[in-house]
Amino acid sequence: MNPMPDPRLPAPDDAVPHDAAPPADPVPRVRGLRLGRVAGVEIRLDRSWFLIAALTVVMYGPVLWRVYPELGWLNLVVALGFAVGLAVSVLVHELAHAAAGRRAGWPVDRIVLTLMGGHTTFGTVRARPLATAVVSLAGPLSNVVLAVVGELLLRGAPDGSAGPWWALAELLVLANWVLGVFNLLPGLPLDGGRVVEALVWAVTRSESRGTAVAAWCGRGIAALLALWVLWTQQWRQPSVLVVSLLVIGFIVVGAGQALRQARLMGTLDAVRADRIARPALEFSPVTPLSVVDATVAAATGDDYRGWVPDVVARDDARGTVGVLDPSLAVRVPDAHRARTGLGDVCRWYPREAVVTGGVAGGELARRMEGARRQWLWVVDDAGHVTGVVHHEDLARHALRG
């Protein structure tokens, strides 16, 4: 349980200076209520969580009311406390994923608590089977640990301990057992499915094949759960039926998304960076735009039938690489182009935006999406730029596949 508006363009005389901080790619707006940060990780509460909180109160409030009628409306507060406690358990689950991911060298972006639990978003990740399995197991194992600790505390409580708060504690212990064990089931989108994915990936050396196998296992789990609901006639209980349908729907949708991702990655992995890259011409960042214009015009004469080359520059002192942004360059008047340097109209990014020609399309997609980049440089073994891979070209190739 485990996309991009254009930035506002500067006026003609306000081209981004080369000595300013490199502009970041546009960042999509993050939905949900920001709760704060834990260990440096942003925590957000999606609006859908309030639906599951309301459902929890509706389901458990009447039960508690029948057991503790003397408490009256306070029973609803206790039921709400269970919803909050469950959210905290999910948060521990996701923080365990985040901690394990950091140990594996994965940058952690944020944690979002949602209707069906939560998810941890990582930045650009070069995943490997072992790291994927370890990070995936960390979440459910943290809930098992919480459940064991809770059991020990309840057993050590003084005799005669009872009441609604005791019932709440027992419910939270049970919830952590369910979170831990259920998420260990071997099918996507559950954490156990990631372990299956990693195992198949390690054996076949194909991540997309591992994803596909784990997704089909997830569909099998959903089918078995539906049969269990029918066989045991749990569908006669409205509350159980609603929860079961939510869980089954969550698994079916997640498994379907994983299968589509596997097909997409299989298609992308058939192409390499040097085959999809557009040609590029490299200049110094201080090269006047007028010189760049003349060079590109000469390289794309009347007989030229290919892509217009991308214009690129690098700044080794700053450890950045850049690609000319036509929307910035076109705003520089002809009279100013001889004294405007190429670096002033480039989009600059860290050196991590550089790949070699043999990198597969799936890895290109991960690096672009993880860092929200629109393009990647392609270099040869000597470090000379040979082309630029654009996000839209990679997407177009995936759609053709």
Q: Band the pLDDT of 20: cuts 50, 70, 90.
A: very low
Query: At residue 264, what is the residue type?
Result: L
Mean pLDDT of all residues in 285-291: 94
pLDDT at 366: 82
pLDDT at 24: 42
Contact 214, 251 (CB under 8 A): no
pLDDT in tens, 130-178: 999 999 999 999 999 999 999 998 887 776 666 777 878 888 999 999 9
pLDDT in tens, 232-287: 887 787 777 888 888 899 999 999 999 998 888 888 888 899 898 999 999 999 99
Whether residue 26 has pLDDT greater than 60: no
**Residue of 130, 203, 201, 126 lying closest to 360 (CA atoms):** 126
Q: Band the pLDDT of 217: cuts 50, 70, 90.
A: very high
Cis amide linkage into residue 189, ω under 30° from 0: yes
- From residue 282, alpha-carbon distances to 178, 317, 318, 374, 387 in Å are 57, 16, 17, 18, 10
What tokens does 307 get?
A: 């892509």
Q: Which of 94, 197, 207, 363 is catalytic?
A: 94
pLDDT at 6: 29
| Calpha distance 167→183 (Å, rounded) | 24
336 labelled ligand-binding: no
97 labelled ligand-binding: yes
pLDDT at 117: 81
Considering only 19-23, 234-238, 353-357, which range has the smallest mean pLDDT? 19-23
| Calpha distance 189→221 (Å, rounded) | 11
Whether residue 5 has pLDDT greater than 50: no
Q: Band the pLDDT of 374: cuts 50, 70, 90.
A: confident
pLDDT at 159: 66
Considering only 166-180, 277-291, 295-309, 322-336, which range has the smallest mean pLDDT? 295-309
Mean pLDDT of all residues in 282-297: 93
What tokens does 134 get?
A: 């370890």
pLDDT at 4: 28
Contact 323, 311 (CB under 8 A): yes
| Domain parsing of the chain, residue ranges | 12-268, 273-400
| Calpha distance 10→16 (Å, rounded) | 8
pLDDT in tens, 37-89: 988 889 999 988 888 888 888 877 887 788 778 778 887 888 888 889 999 99
Whether residue 214 has pLDDT greater than 90: yes
Q: Specify the CATH class of 273-400 in words.
A: alpha beta
The single residue listed with the structure tokens 């609901």 is 229
Mark whether 282 is an active-site residue: no
Tell me whether residue 135 is exposed, middle or buried, using C-beta atoms within 10 angstroms of its C-beta: 0 to 12, 13 to 18, 19 or more. buried
191 labelled ligand-binding: yes
